[in-house]
Amino acid sequence: DASAAGIYDRKLEELEAAIDSQLQVLYLRQLSILREQALSQYKSAAKTSEASDYEAMVNADAKFVNDAEDSTREGSDWDYATERTYLQSVMNDLASANKKLTEVQLKAGQQQQTAMQYLQQQQQMIQQLQMQLYGQSSPWNVGVAYRIPDTNFNIQGTYQGGRTNVQVSSVPDEYAGMLGPQGFTNGVGPGNLGLSLNLSV
């Protein structure tokens, strides 16, 4: 009768509502998983492919919408708009951060290039001044060091860039005791003479 049919319909609606509530919880969890998968796809595409951030975002968003549509029960009021909006917001934030990082890297590279150019210009100016002051620079760089026998006096001479420099210093010989009772041998020998020669061509 009509009364029994009404009770049946009411019970059926209550059962559907209870089942729908449990399924909707699973649906929301599924949307969260799909959102993370789409976000991972965007990150991977932005790093490894030549596609722009915009193309990567469009592809990731399309994947999420397609998978979310497949997971949505027909005839229900389930909706994935909130998860989609959150996904788009995260991708926009990541794209903005990547853009700022790229700008910082480009700016740092430009500053480094400018600094190198400045140093090169300064080096050229110094070389020009040296040529004006001392004439054509010599390719020879010579250094000589000599210790006067049985003394602590060292004589050092250098010739570099067309300039000669002589320096006399008093430095105790820490190894004199190893060379015999008289310290250094008399005369010029390998123990008291040093010579270095550099030739720039």
Q: Which of 79, 105, 131 is the last residue of a domain?
A: 105
CA 177, 179, 180 angle in degrees (round to 5)? 80
Strand 193-199 relative to strand 163-170: parallel, antiparallel, unpaired? Answer: unpaired
Residues 25, 79: one domain?
Answer: yes
Per-residue confidence (pLDDT) for residue 184, from 0 to 100? 46
Residue 201: the pLDDT is 44
Q: What is the pLDDT of residue 173?
A: 61
pLDDT on residue 180 = 52
For tokens 């040093």, what's the residue?
194
Are 190 and 96 in the same domain?
Answer: no
**Residue type (1 letter), 128:** Q
Q: Please check whether residue 142 is in contact with residue 159, taking contact to mean a CB–CB distance below 8 angstroms.
A: yes
Instruction: Provide the 8-state DSSP code for 192.
Output: S
What pLDDT does 11 receive?
A: 65
Angle in degrees, CA 141, 142, 143, rounded to 5: 130
97-99-103 Cα angle (round to 5): 115
Torsion of CA 22, 23, 25, 30, to 10 degrees: 160
95 and 49 within one domain: yes
Q: What is the pLDDT of residue 38?
A: 94
| 48, 83, 105 - which closes a domain | 105
Low-confidence residues in the chain, pLDDT < 70: 1-19, 49-51, 130, 133-141, 161-162, 171-201
Residue 167 pLDDT: 81
99 and 147 assigned to the same domain: no
Residue 68 domain boundaries: 2-105
